Structure 1
Amino acid sequence: MTQSNGLLVQRLDREFKSQRRGWGLQSPDLRTRTAGYELLSQVYGVAPTDTTGEVRRKAIAAVRRLAADFPMEMRLAVEYALAISAEAQWRTLSEREHSLSRALQCSARTARRRVGDAFRRLAEEAAVEYQRAADQTRSPLGSEDGWAVRSLESLLRLESAPEVTETRCIVALRPGLHRIVTRFTLARLVDGASSAPAIRAEVQYGATIRGPVRREGEGHFLHVLELPRELSVGEHHEYSITYRIPEGYVIRPYYAFVPLVACDAFRLRVRFGTGRPPSRVRRFHGVVSRLLHDSDIPGEPLELDAASEVALAFDRIRAGFAYGIAWQPAAGDERFDLGPDHGPR
């Protein structure tokens, strides 16, 4: 850890400590208390126009995201100290620490030590996230970080040529965010084909495609999206984009969302069409991305409705893991490839 990062962790630790006082994140004056801390405001994604309720919701979501991989005792220590847990709605930190000691079956002194340890790690996680967003301000594009996804809604239509519409609600993690990058990955070319046109992308609303598509390898496509205006820290914005897959590609029989930035919720609807419904459909949640190469991705079985559709919802999403749907194509459906190549992501 560099000295500058060490100082950042110390400052965040002090700011988090201030949030533990009194009613914690249940404090009636939470908005005022948070506004005085620049680092926490950015970590929480708070906007100047947010109400106290909105600040509370964002703060709780951010803390839970940062502590998602903590050991259970550390997560409890964080939630009790900040009065997030329903079992710890006490007026003072001292009362909440005594409640924590009962939950952990330890002394109050040990509970206080658990709180201190947990918040030092929380500050370290927050410093990494804050530094990553700050580093992006020096990027020529400034677009692959510096923002998070509050929600993603995807509609995959497979009645004929595959088509995906993705609607994202994003939040700015740094000031002046005005450009982002979207990624879409396809499988291999049809056997014998030497090349194929780039994927066709059309923004439905909320952004403008800037410049030509950037192609990485055979089937990886990046689009730079210009937002209608610059976003301030914590400000939300929604856009929708449709990807149409040209002839010349076959795709793996799955749709996977593998987030590279934070995401709170993912909803997916797939319309297979009644002409060639799949013989088997599975839902996968949080699988390691290398399993997408397998011919049989592990998951829960699903039933299609009368319209040959399925709708799914995902939460507790972790960056770098895969979430989505896989299916067994109908016999003779040559649009899909059962080999080890990537599908749409």
Structure 2
Amino acid sequence: MSTTDVVAELKILRKGRGLSVAQLTERVGPALQAVCAISADDDAAGVRRKVSDRLLALIEALPGDLRMSLLAAFGLHEQAQHPFYGERVSWAARTLERDDRTVRRRIDEGIDRLAEYAVATTKPAAAGPSRSWHTEELRVALALDQPVPEAFEFRRVVVDADEIDELDLALTLTSAGSNSRPLEETDLRVDVFHGGVLTGRHMESSDRVGLALRLPAPLHRNDRHEIALRFRAGLRHPHYVCVPRQPCDLFDLHVRFGASVPEEVVRLDKAFQDDARDPAVRGAALTVDSSGEVHEQFRHLVPGFAYGVRWRPAEAGA
């Protein structure tokens, strides 16, 4: 974790409603997870509380003008609960009797100082792996030319603990907009082809389904195990990304569009999950081949970041 990583994530965090954004967990990347001591067991409310408490403690050490600017920027001041970042900047400018441009500079300066404090006061992780398993290889074939989009997932995992008998998996179906109905468990169909038995599924957030896969037999440290799954669901936004919870050595992705070739396809490589559906966040342009497919590979994926592709569907009648 570096100050550069923390600065980048803090600048994402100040967007929109700041700390009050509905999908806060998607904006908290690996650096802030370390700074705020967030674990995989924390639910959305726990993440929000830890991030708010940690930022308030760090901001308290800043000079008065930077402190006020950052409290407004992140929506942590009770009088700066505006839904847009620009409105909170204007509120801070009026309060400090400065112009908006000056306050924006002070926010950037404050974020740099905040990141320095955060890195300097964050305890290093304990030696040795804290995870129980990681993905050595993940291969996904996504077919969008079916009545309901289907994704076949072939995953090889490596055990990092003394013994495990279950894998915790998850899949996110991002809402296409504020008026979309909440995701329900029945929106996602999962079939296990080999490698275990699906024993549980629950809503981890408004758009993420957690899955528990019981293994055929307990696995031990350094064991490898392969699973094959099929997911079927209506995609709520035109992108497909992997956001690993544990490190992933290789992610191989085939996307088949078929005859409905999109106007644009871009590669998303180590993007913030919340940015994956934002057209303003650009990626390398990809070319759809003569079979209506794209094929991309990603290596050494960092937990908490998004890797995959986003497309812009062709306009009807074009």
TM-score (norm. length: structure 2): 0.56
Name the counterpart of 1:32: none
Contact 2:271 2:307 in 1 (8 A): yes
Report the counterpart of residue 22 of structure 2 in structure 1: none
Q: Report 1:2-41 matches (<5 A).
A: none
Q: Distance in 2 between matches of 1:321 and 1:315?
A: 13
1:173-322 alignment to 2 at 5 Å? 173-188=160-175, 193=181, 196=184, 197-211=186-200, 213-245=201-233, 251-274=236-259, 276-322=260-306
Residue 152 of structure 1 deviates from its aligned partner by: 0.7
Question: 1:159 maps to which residue?
Answer: 145
Q: Which residue of 2 aligns with 1:327?
A: 311
Shift of residue 286, structure 1, vs aligned partner: 1.3
Distance 2:250 2:139 in 1: 8
Taking the aligned partners of 1:271 and 1:308, their CA distance within structure 2 comes to 6
Instruction: Go from structure 1 to structure 2 and tell me whether the alpha carbon gap of 1:193 and 1:260 turns closer, same or farther (over 3 Å shift).
Output: closer
Aligned counterparts of 1:310 and 1:230: Cα–Cα separation in 2: 37
Structure 1, unmatched stretches of 5+, are 1-123, 133-144, 334-345
**Distance in 2 between residues matched to 1:234 and 1:195, nearest whole Å:** 36
- How far apart are the structure 1 equivalents of 2:226 and 2:125? 25
Query: Cα offset for 1:253?
Result: 1.0
Q: Which moved more, 1:285-294 or 1:322-331?
A: 285-294
Report how far residue 239 of structure 1 moved: 0.2
Contact 2:138 2:155 in 1 (8 A): yes
Q: 1:194 to 1:270 in 2, by over 3 A?
A: closer
| 1:288-340 deviation line (CA, Å, top 9, x unaligned) | 3332242233211111111101111111321222111011112249xxxxxxx
Give me the identity figure in percent: 29
Distance 2:124 2:166 in 1: 25
1:175-209: CA deviation from partner (whole Å, max 9, x where unpaired): 22110111001123795757753311001111110
The one-letter code of the counterpart of 1:167 is F
Instruction: Give the C-alpha shift of residue 169 in structure 1.
Output: 0.5
Contact 2:182 2:206 in 1 (8 A): no
Letter in 1 for 2:190: A
Structure 2 CA distance for partners of 1:189 and 1:253, relative to 1, 3 Å: closer
Question: Structure 1 residues 125 and 297 mapped into 2: Cα distance closer, same or farther (>3 Å)?
Answer: same
Residue 28 (structure 2) aligns with: none
Within 2, Cα distance between the matches of 1:288 and 1:171? 26
Q: Secondary structure at the match of 2:135?
A: strand
RMSD of equivalent CA atoms = 2.4
Give 3-state SS (helix, strand or coil) of 2:301's partner: coil
Number of the residue aligned with 2:27: none
Matches within 5 A, 1:56-205: 127-130=126-129, 132=130, 145-160=131-146, 161-188=148-175, 193=181, 196=184, 197-205=186-194
Q: Displacement of 1:128 after TM fit?
A: 4.1
Q: Secondary structure at the match of 1:223?
A: strand
Which runs of 4 or more aligned residues in structure 1 lie more than 6 Å from their structure 2 counterparts after TM superposition? none
C-alpha contact 1:284 1:297 (8 A) present in aligned 2: no
Counterpart of 2:195, as a letter, is G
- Cα pair 2:183 2:207 within 8 Å, conserved: no
Give the 3-state SS of the residue equivalent to 2:245 in structure 1: coil
Kindly provide the amino acid, as one letter, of the partner of residue 273 in structure 1.
Answer: G
TM-score relative to the length of structure 1 = 0.51
**Paired residues, number:** 192
Q: Where does residue 138 of structure 1 map in the other structure?
A: none
CA distance in 1: counterparts of 2:264 and 2:182, whole angstroms: 32
Q: 1:295 to 1:149 in 2, by over 3 A?
A: same
CA distance in 1, matches of 2:256, 2:280: 21
Secondary structure, in 3 states, of the residue corresponding to 2:222?
A: coil
Question: Match of 2:255, as an amino acid?
Answer: V
Q: Distance in 2 between matches of 1:287 and 1:331?
A: 26
